[in-house]
Chain A
Amino acid sequence: MISVRPFHDLFVGEVSGADLTRPQTEAEIAAIEAAIAEHAVLVFRDQRVTDEQQLAFSERFGPLEHTGGTGISKPGEQRLHPAFADVSNLDVDGAVLARDNRRRLYSLGNMLWHSDSSFKAVPAKYSLLSGRVVVEKGGETEFADMRAAYDALDEAAKAEIEDLICEHSLIYSREVLGFGDLTDAERATMRPVRQTLVRTHLVSGRKSVYLASHIGRIVGWPVPEARAFIRDLTEKATRPEFVYRHVWRPFDLVMWDNRCTMHRARRFKSDAVRDMRRTTVAGDAPTVALAAA
């Protein structure tokens, strides 16, 4: 049976006793679900999973997102099965992307705090990231606990954000880094969607701040005021005590709940090979009644 060791004062558990290369029992899945409801981020060490095994494990938590239709990768350019988000810096032949490669520049947006698929009408539940080839220096993934961030707000701040609705789009997060090199067709797939700024977790019942660098607007607010507000809130929500930095070992598999955490990638040398493969469990429902902005 699995056991979970807390890894941080607020969140993150290191799971031992799990072998994700083989099918999990109902009891094991239930234990993992209970653990992630509590810890929000789970670290599984030494999981030499194949793509098939990662898919099989991920599907136990619900239908998976398919990456087609979002982002900028075209069919035929994809290295992995369409249920994978390719978080590597490799092309279809396994070569490291050139420094000025468009997909590489696009992916630098992952260095901004975000929650996966918050730009989809039904945003993601869990992400599972398997580190197949990790870099020796840099390339860490940082996680921030948005439940703790919510709890730390004073009553006035909680009241102010309680009913706010934000608009999320990949266009906004790319704009932050000055990446505007998008085709009309790509922009059309990136139309903003609406999400509540405060979410209540279905299992734990805890409230969290639903932030992401994909946010570009708050409904009813002038844009500059919204941007300044979201920046300030993000800064508060990601202060050091709410953050865990994951230093990757080969074959770590990290699973997190996008509904109550943000994460970001850290810088590494552009010529180092980094092969990370993500599966994403779809969410259950939109956060607002009318999600299309």
Chain B
Amino acid sequence: MMIQPIQPGFVGVVTGIDICQPLTAPEVAQIEAGMDSFAVLSFPNQPLTDEQQVVFSANFGELEIPLAAQMMAPEKRRFQKIELGDISNFDGKNTDKLRDREDSRRMYALANRLWHSDASFRAVGAGYTLLHSRVNPTKGGNTEFADMRAAYDALDAKTKALVDDMIVGHSIVYSREQIGFEVKGDADNLKPVKHRLVVTHPVTGRKSLYLSSHIGEIDGWLIPEARAFLRDLTEHATQRQFVYSHKWEVNDLVMWDNRTVMHRATRFDDLKERRDLRRTSIKGVGLGVDSVPVQQAAE
């Protein structure tokens, strides 16, 4: 196995391994070490089945069950494997029909075009996310990644001191609000969860900004002040020198660490062209993205 960085220290291309087959423990360790170094790994030419994607993902921890799959009746699910997230623009199981312009699933998914970290609105955010490409549009539909370690390092000392102990509230409501989409549903899932804005990687010890468009508040700050500050910080953190844009090829598998990168989708002509990606996510238990205990958050 060989890992070749695309940018110094950020995004590695992994070749010389067949991840459709079960991995050995040293291979898993090597991939994890690669993730620690590069935050994003891209595996080209891996024709994974759904089952193989789940098996490969499970090497890295416990898989999350996507919210949408949880809430959907089994017969409506597109995939047999409940762990797979449907990142397509298909009208459910009917893969020949694309979602209509006004489809609420489409509206909801448009917020993926905002910079975010997966599941940061949960008490335990996602660790790794793995995305496998099956169908791509002719133009657009890239996934962009921003290195939150480099973004943290590039802050001036004063801003570091300001953000180091900051506690922020994340909710799916906040990211959808930004594009004028109202999320309705179970109030418990929508309640903001508190995370530290700066997290320390348990292996490398590097600090990074745990930013996400799901953030809507900073403890102790007035809302408009907090939002203005978070926008500026996000702008800083997503400057082009910190960003890699992945142009998908069929059978690419890209995995990233949500603790150290943000990502977003770029636009494509989703009313005319098909795009099918399948997502698995690993729970970030014990990885430094657990929510801040309520008591500590109140201090």
A: which residues have CB within 8 A of B?
Answer: 99-100, 105-106, 108-109, 111-112, 176-179, 216, 222-229, 231-232, 239-240, 267
Least CB distance from B164 to A in Å reads: 18
Least CB distance from A277 to B in Å reads: 22
Q: Which residues of A contact B231 (CB under 8 A)?
A: 111-112
Query: A105-B225, A106-B224 given. 7 additional CB < 8 A pairs?
Result: A105-B224, A112-B231, A178-B227, A216-B180, A224-B110, A231-B113, A232-B113
Complex CA gap A112/B224 in Å reads 11
Least CB distance from B228 to A in Å reads: 5
Are A223 and B181 also in contact (CB < 8 A) when A177-B228, A232-B267 are? yes
Complex CA gap A239/B239 in Å reads 9
Residues of B216-247 at the interface with A, using a CB-CB cut-off of 8 Å, are 216, 222-229, 231-232, 239-240
Chain A interface, DSSP helix/strand/loop, else mixed: helix
* Most chain B beta-carbon contacts within 10 A, residue among A111, A177, A223, A226: A177
Nearest chain A residue, comparing its CB with the CB of B109: A224
* Most chain A beta-carbon contacts within 10 A, residue among B222, B226, B240, B266: B222
Instruction: Evaluate contact between A177 and B110: CB separation under 8 angstroms.
Output: no
Instruction: Evaluate contact between B110 and A225: CB separation under 8 angstroms.
Output: yes
Instruction: Evaluate contact between B224 and A108: CB separation under 8 angstroms.
Output: yes
Q: Return 26 A-B CB contacts under 8 Å, by A number.
A: A99-B222, A105-B222, A105-B225, A106-B224, A111-B231, A111-B232, A177-B224, A177-B228, A178-B216, A178-B224, A178-B226, A179-B223, A223-B179, A223-B180, A224-B110, A224-B111, A225-B101, A228-B110, A228-B111, A228-B114, A229-B267, A231-B114, A239-B240, A240-B239, A267-B228, A267-B232
Q: Which residues of B contact A229 (CB under 8 A)?
A: 267
Answer whether residue B65 sits at the interface, using C-beta atoms and an 8 A cutoff: no
Nearest chain B residue, comparing its CB with the CB of A232: B267
Please pick, from A108, A227, A239, the residue contacting B178 in the complex, using a CB distance under 8 A: A227
Instruction: Evaluate contact between A228 and B228: CB separation under 8 angstroms.
Output: no
Q: Which residues of A contact B226 (CB under 8 A)?
A: 178
Least CB distance from B146 to A in Å reads: 13
Instruction: Evaluate contact between B179 and A177: CB separation under 8 angstroms.
Output: no
Instruction: Evaluate contact between A228 and B225: CB separation under 8 angstroms.
Output: no
Q: Which residues of B contact A177 (CB under 8 A)?
A: 223-224, 227-228
Nearest chain B residue, comparing its CB with the CB of A217: B180
Q: Which residues of B contact A231 (CB under 8 A)?
A: 113-114, 179
Residues of B87-119 at the interface with A, using a CB-CB cut-off of 8 Å, are 101-102, 107, 110-111, 113-114
Instruction: Evaluate contact between B223 and A176: CB separation under 8 angstroms.
Output: no
Nearest chain B residue, comparing its CB with the CB of A227: B179
Complex CA gap A236/B171 in Å reads 27
Instruction: Evaluate contact between B179 and A228: CB separation under 8 angstroms.
Output: yes
Instruction: Evaluate contact between B179 and A224: CB separation under 8 angstroms.
Output: yes
Nearest chain A residue, comparing its CB with the CB of B267: A232
Instruction: Evaluate contact between B107 and A176: CB separation under 8 angstroms.
Output: no
Are A224 and B267 also in contact (CB < 8 A) when A111-B232, A176-B178 are? no
Nearest chain A residue, comparing its CB with the CB of B113: A228
Q: Which residues of B contact A179 (CB under 8 A)?
A: 223-224
